[in-house]
A and B are shown apart, each in its own frame.
Chain A
């Protein structure tokens, strides 16, 4: 497998400027096959701009993007034949019904046979629970129903790449859960590239995450790597007893980077940054338990995606690149 076969999407210095505004600045992305790729960022970070560039709806000011190894500008139609796309705010022809919309979408990909197209349309309607509203005009649909129809039309061609722009934004918690389930099921067949600002969803289903801020990539990597945090591995230890002696013991260890001690109720809390996680795992607790203190709590610091997100977006740090 060559490198270009390995990646579904690759961008090199992809940039977009609208008049004086730099919407996207030199974006380098690599999206693996069959991954669920979460594309995060605050409003105006450049997520939708990136998606539009990938779909050929806008042209890059600089840089390039390849999808399935094809250039996103010169082979846009061939690329779109293998993609399913859900816009942030799905808009359809209001005079059509849900069934007609799915049939219309399917006919961009399939000439026939008619029976197979109708079966696929029925399958998609059932997938998003719109079978009972299939023949109602779209103009009578609620926001959530439109969103579900959007998800159905994006999958009608069983795409190799599904691009979803804020797929769960206007859904209730049950709808959101269903969308995440559908995404997880589809991983076997397709690569899913989706933008969102719902961090919980990303943490639940994504395997790779990119964080954009003000048009720039500020963090990229497998989710476990990002959740490990940019500060490295930190252990949190709650202890009582001769805290100063315990501190000296720890500071003398070659695998301890720094120890931050704070008072907490009747005891102290150590935040121990380690440079060698394996050595720390094997020795840290043993050293303390055999020392002059009583350990009341001991755990490795776990980051939530929200911590990482706030850190990189507010702190302007670059992580995992």
Chain B
């Protein structure tokens, strides 16, 4: 490459080659476009309107109910957004030819996949966890002072993020296996909305599905609510959390394995 003497060349070797550049581009897609504020507006606005309307109503529900509604609007519905956003991350790039284009540059396939996971996780964390949770729990803190434990709020936000990470990595993995959008978006959506029924049929499934992190299962509080109330979580709740983290890692590893064998 004569004529490049003025440049400091990228000399990185191994699987990380191109990761930094892809990551910058992935973050720019979130934070230098309208994507971040549009998502903040959707998810934060939804929480503001619903929780605000309930909390400032003269016949407001009790604090536990308010917290549950907040968890539904921060844990359940944004997961739909995660699935819809992520179905495009790999399938979209494969179908539009941009994956083949970037892979014709000195970029490794693991770097491409990991840049998608990291950039989208950060985007989801800010716009679908931090902003809506901050709005929802601030409203609750205003209307019911001293009912929320700040550390518990942060921990609950962490659990909500892990719930979203489960669907993010699952959708991403499916994107590496299929070339059509239908199964990539359909399977995670079916899992998201049918979790409760599946657990009803086969209770052992509660260990591998993230439902009980967010929504009560029978009379058992979800892990998020336990943390918000500042009580100690049960060992089963922590086991489920750990399994969901492991599953998310497994989905990411599967995506890496499959994408490495993909032909363009």
A230 to B103, CA, bound (A): 40
Query: A80-B104, A85-B104 are contacts. A108–B10 as well, Cβ < 8 Å?
Result: yes
- Segment at the interface with B among A153-161, A211-219, A269-277, A282-290: A153-161
What band does the interface of chain B fall in when counting residues whose beta carbon is under 8 Å from A?
20 to 34
Q: Would you call B263 and A55 a contact (CB within 8 A)?
A: no
Q: Given B4, B33, B103, B263, which contacts A157 in the complex, CB threshold below 8 Å?
A: B4
- Segment at the interface with A among B77-85, B94-102, B131-139, B162-170: B94-102
Q: How far is the CB of A231 from chain B (nearest CB, A)?
A: 41
Q: Is A298 an interface residue (CB 8 A)?
A: no
Q: Can you identify 11 A-B contacts, CB atoms within 8 angstroms? A: A56-B103, A87-B100, A87-B101, A89-B97, A92-B101, A95-B33, A108-B107, A110-B8, A111-B9, A113-B6, A157-B1
Specify the main secondary structure of chain B where it touches its partner.
loop
| A106 nearest in chain B by CB position | B7
Q: How far is the CB of B227 from chain A (nearest CB, A)?
A: 37
Q: Would you call B25 and A104 a contact (CB within 8 A)?
A: yes
Q: Would you call B21 and A108 a contact (CB within 8 A)?
A: yes
Q: Is A22 an interface residue (CB 8 A)?
A: no
Q: How far is the CB of B67 from chain A (nearest CB, A)?
A: 37
A116 to B17, CA, bound (A): 21
A157 to B106, CA, bound (A): 11
Q: Is A258 an interface residue (CB 8 A)?
A: no
Query: A77-B17, A87-B101, A91-B97 are contacts. A113–B1 as well, Cβ < 8 Å?
Result: no
| B1 nearest in chain A by CB position | A158
Which residue, of B3, B106, B107, has the highest number of chain A Cβ atoms within 10 A? B106
Q: Would you call A110 and B29 a contact (CB within 8 A)?
A: no
Q: How far is the CB of B41 from chain A (nearest CB, A)?
A: 18
Q: Is A312 an interface residue (CB 8 A)?
A: no
A189 to B25, CA, bound (A): 30
Q: How far is the CB of A56 from chain B (nearest CB, A)?
A: 8
Query: A55-B104, A80-B105 are contacts. A113–B7 as well, Cβ < 8 Å?
Result: yes
| Interface set, chain B 1-48, CB cutoff 8 A to A | 1-4, 6-10, 17-18, 21, 24-25, 29, 33
By a CB distance below 8 angstroms, the chain B residues around A87 are 97, 100-101, 104
By a CB distance below 8 angstroms, the chain A residues around B10 are 81, 107-111
Q: Is B221 an interface residue (CB 8 A)?
A: no
Q: Would you call B9 and A110 a contact (CB within 8 A)?
A: yes
Q: How far is the CB of B39 from chain A (nearest CB, A)?
A: 15
Which residue, of B33, B101, B105, B107, has the highest number of chain A Cβ atoms within 10 A? B105
Q: Would you call B105 and A112 a contact (CB within 8 A)?
A: no
Interface string of A28-60 (1 = CB under 8 A from B): 000000000000000000000000100111110
By a CB distance below 8 angstroms, the chain B residues around A83 are 104
Q: Is A105 an interface residue (CB 8 A)?
A: yes
By a CB distance below 8 angstroms, the chain B residues around A91 are 96-98, 100-101
A158 to B24, CA, bound (A): 23
Interface string of A57-98 (1 = CB under 8 A from B): 111000000000000000001101111010101111101100
Q: Is A319 an interface residue (CB 8 A)?
A: no
Q: Would you call B2 and A189 a contact (CB within 8 A)?
A: yes
Q: How far is the CB of A135 from chain B (nearest CB, A)?
A: 13
Q: How far is the CB of B35 from chain A (nearest CB, A)?
A: 8
Q: Is A117 an interface residue (CB 8 A)?
A: yes
Q: Would you call B101 and A108 a contact (CB within 8 A)?
A: no
Q: Would you call B105 and A108 a contact (CB within 8 A)?
A: yes
Query: A52-B264, A81-B106 are contacts. A110–B100 as well, Cβ < 8 Å?
Result: no
